[in-house]
Structure 1
Amino acid sequence: MPGSDDRLPVLDHLRRHVGSEAWPDERTHMRYPTAISQTLGFTITAVEAGVASVRVDADATRHGNQQGTVHGGFLVELADAAIGTAHSTLMRPGESFTTIDLRVAFLRPVWHDTLLATARPEHPGRTISHYVCEIVRTSDNKPVATVTSTVMTLRGTAAEGR
């Protein structure tokens, strides 16, 4: 395993990945691709410092609830992935983070569509940052949900093992 000196900053690592189906051989101190994103079919489509977009092909036959639409929990996980990716671009070695609050407003249903979740900081802070994420249906560019999140950056012993 390469030492932390050999690892790329998260933002550089993710920039090399965007637009490519294969992950580069380089490593960063965070885990990419994440296991949950691979399981759910999420793809990072754009990334900048503190900002990220994540795409998924959603289908109620696979991601549905009892009403026959895409499950709200699936939408929340998509937003959380975009927010986590956005915040991870700001992390240095020895730092990690955790979500301490997540709120969602569902705006319209999804049956089958490509969804794009774009997260950006509403109020970035040294320890506590607030993000907003909008999920849109790409077929008509209409918003599906708006998610806000509070993220806490962890340092030192609080970040160990995360």
Structure 2
Amino acid sequence: MTKLSILEYLNRMIKGEITDDMHTHMHYPTQISKTLGINIIEVGLGTATVQINTTKEKHSNQQGTIHGGLLCELADAAIGTAHSTVIPEGETFTSVELKINFYRPVFDNLLTAKASPLHSGKNLSHYVCDIFRSDGKKAAMVTSTVMTLRGDKATGR
């Protein structure tokens, strides 16, 4: 078995270079991302870009626009992926706050969420994630606070 860092594992996953003997200390792709069809398309140290192809038939609300909760999940996936690249084995993390501002409606569309840190602290980190429609216009902006967990607080997560 070849154990890789999260960053190396994700970069190989994006390139389609993961083999059965490769693994890392977190689970990628995540089950929620597989269920919803969220794909990681770019990752760096503390940054991540994810995409989802939305459809009215699968992702809309009662008004026919793409549900805002899906945009929250897309941003949370980008932020969680970005933060996981800076987490060593034995540590984990959890979101403690997430705020979204919606700017434009989304219909059937390829959405791209780009997450990067505003502040990277020892215990608390703050991220911003911009969500763009395929026409390049910003659909939403998300900010989130993530808490890094160590020792007993990381056990069993």
On whether the aligned pair clears a TM of 0.5, the verdict is yes
CA deviation after TM superposition for structure 1 residue 74, in Å: 0.4
2:11 maps to 1:15: yes
Aligned with 1:43 (options 17, 27, 39): 39
Q: Take 2:30 and 2:79, find their aligned partners in 1: how far apart are those partners?
A: 13
Q: Take 2:7 and 2:119, find their aligned partners in 1: how far apart are those partners?
A: 19
Q: Take 2:5 and 2:108, find their aligned partners in 1: how far apart are those partners?
A: 36
Q: Which runs of 5+ in 2 are unaligned?
A: none
Aligned with 2:56 (options 31, 38, 60): 60
Number of positions where the alignment pairs a residue of Structure 1 with one of Structure 2: 156
What SS is found at the alignment partner of 2:23?
Answer: coil
1:65-80 superposed matches below 5 A? 65-80=61-76
* Per-residue Cα deviation, 1:6-42 (whole angstroms, up to 9, x for no partner): 521111110111133x744311110111000000000
What SS is found at the alignment partner of 1:18?
Answer: helix
Q: Which runs of 5+ in 1 are unaligned?
A: none
CA deviation after TM superposition for structure 1 residue 59, in Å: 1.1
Q: Take 1:148 and 1:23, find their aligned partners in 2: how far apart are those partners?
A: 31
Q: Take 1:36 and 1:42, find their aligned partners in 2: how far apart are those partners?
A: 8
Quick one: which amino acid aligns to residue 39 of structure 1? T
Aligned with 1:141 (options 128, 136, 142): 136
After the TM superposition, list the runs of 4 or more consecutive aligned residues in structure 1 that deviate by more than 3 angstroms. Answer: none
Q: Take 1:120 and 1:155, find their aligned partners in 2: how far apart are those partners?
A: 22
CA deviation after TM superposition for structure 1 residue 146, in Å: 0.2
**1:153 aligns to what?**
148
**1:27 aligns to what?**
23
Quick one: which amino acid aligns to residue 60 of structure 2? G
Would the aligned equivalents of 1:122 and 1:131 in 2 still touch at CA under 8 Å?
yes
What SS is found at the alignment partner of 1:115?
Answer: strand
Calculate the TM-score normalised by the size of structure 1.
0.93
2:98 maps to 1:102: yes
Fraction of identical pairs, as percent: 53
Quick one: which amino acid aligns to residue 29 of structure 2? P
* Per-residue Cα deviation, 1:61-108 (whole angstroms, up to 9, x for no partner): 210000000000000000000000000000101010000000000000
Calculate the TM-score normalised by the size of structure 2.
0.96
